[in-house]
Structure 1
Amino acid sequence: TDGEGFLESLRREGEFDPQGKRAFVIGAGGAACAISFALVKTGIKSIILTNRTREKAKILLERLKKNVKDQCKFSLVDFSQRNSPGIMDKVDLFINATSVGMHAGDSVLINPDLFPSNIFVYDVVYNRKTELLKEAEKRNLPSLGGVGMLVYQGALSFKIWTSRKAPIDEMRNILRAEFNEHKVKG
């Protein structure tokens, strides 16, 4: 449900349609995998993957290539090269699908000065306004934190288990109060 939750948040709250766009995903765990597969289903044009552990990124890349054939162009960027000039030039959607940013003092995994002026920044971290989101905000870039993804995947799970529509607004309000996250969009 993570992938579907991400897409609902991106479309409803971010008003961003990934069809025909290009994405850059940092991470190779469960969230990155679910998000990448969900993006392919939307008709995204290409996905660039990177991860601190190159082997995990390669495994995700091969899994994607095996399961989606030619529906999308995939590429792998070595983590040490993620801030190289030119990589972000044609990216429409940047996604941090790691836990980096969850704790105060966490760094930003990408140089935000490389973001093109029309990029959408999505950080799956939901418990705080991350440095990545603050950098996007400074640059007037559209961005969302992970609360929306959490809410929508929870709502989908609720519907699967109960056959009832989830109280999305109530869920969001409870989460925001719990995380004291009133400053984070999404």
Structure 2
Amino acid sequence: MAISGATKITGIIGSPVKHTLSPLMHNAAFNHLKLNFVYVPFLVKPSELGDAIKGFKALNVRGINVTVPHKERVVKYMDKLDPLAENVGAVNTVVFENGNACGYNTDGTGFIKSIKSATSLHGKTVLVIGAGGAGSSVSFALSRENVRKLFIYDILGKKASVLAGKINSKKGLARAETTSSPERVATETDIVVNASTSGMNKKDRCVLDPSLLRKGMFIYDIVYNAKTQLLRQAERLGAGHMDGMEMLLFQGAAAFELWTDRKAPLDIMRKVITERR
């Protein structure tokens, strides 16, 4: 639809944002439903995050997605937090209402919907690599499923310990354990989830020793814009594997519905992002 004085603005903040497929996905959905919305990327440096949130409020922006490296840092700028976002300590979706910034986390929902379409989680031992914003969301989401055991690794060991502590402080969740090395628990792991940003870097390296991967494992990498070394190794072995494209779709659909109060057109959104691969 044509931009007008009544157009509602949505977008994504991060650094970098050039790689994102979110504008393509959301604008296709807006156009399909004939909604007077537009979605644009905003490059926001960490030092500018607070000013950016104030600016969005002043400009009457409807909502934003939040990507690396801001998912945890943005929490302190929220006026209200959804209970899940508060538990996780990370926000990936913001709705601006009546001068307030309301933070939500749709990453966990997006991850679970995507991985369940490819493999079962019941009774499985899962290793999550990365305890940042996405890793926290994924770990909390997994702890609500019937997994047998949840291991968390982060290159900054304290981050993994803090995350495991948060999960273990909640009743009814699977127990989380930290590991000083992903290789130490690889032999008992059924599912490996790379929730770090290593695959986005030019010097992409396999986050787990390839010799420890095996055909019976399921390998998931949340990176969606490139086939990472981890996924290449899984493919070589014939192991089940998945990238983050479906997670992008489902978390985006949840954000779309928060902003518009309309059901997201999943087929349209999936079509445009898969065609861009």
Q: Which amino acid in 2 is paired with 1:120?
A: F
Residue 230 of structure 2: aligned partner: 132
Answer yes or no: is the 8 Å Cα contact 2:215–2:240 preserved in 1.
no
% identical equivalent positions: 34
Counterparts of 2:220 and 2:208, CA distance in 1: 13
Answer yes or no: is the 8 Å Cα contact 1:23–1:93 preserved in 2.
yes
User: What does the per-residue CA deviation read over 1:148-183, in whole Å, with 9 as the maximum and x for residues that have no partner?
Assistant: 101001111222332322122221232234xx42xx
Q: Which amino acid in 2 is paired with 1:40?
A: S
The answer to which structure, 1 or 2, has the higher relative contact order (CA under 8 A, 6+ apart) is 1
Note the residue ranges of structure 2 that are not aligned, 5 or more in a row.
Answer: 1-105
Q: How big is the shift at 1:108?
A: 0.9
Q: Flag the structure with larger Rg.
A: 2
Closer, same or farther: CA 161–63 of 1 in aligned 2, 3 Å: same
Residue 83 of structure 1: aligned partner: 183
Higher strand share: 2
Note the residue ranges of structure 1 that are not aligned, 5 or more in a row.
Answer: 182-186
1:43 to 146, 149, 161: 146
1:144 to 233, 239, 242: 242
Tell me the TM-score normalised to structure 1 length: 0.86
Q: What secondary structure is seen at the aligned counterpart in 2 of 1:89? A: helix
- Give 1:55-70 correspondences, 5 Å limit: 55-68=158-171
Counterparts of 1:68 and 1:106, CA distance in 2: 38
Q: How big is the shift at 1:20?
A: 1.6
Counterparts of 1:39 and 1:109, CA distance in 2: 20
User: What does the per-residue CA deviation read over 1:128-152, in whole Å, with 9 as the maximum and x for residues that have no partner?
Assistant: 1111111100000111101110100
Answer yes or no: is the 8 Å Cα contact 2:124–2:190 preserved in 1.
yes
1:107 to 199, 202, 205: 205
Tell me the TM-score normalised to structure 2 length: 0.59
RMSD over equivalenced CA pairs, Å: 1.5
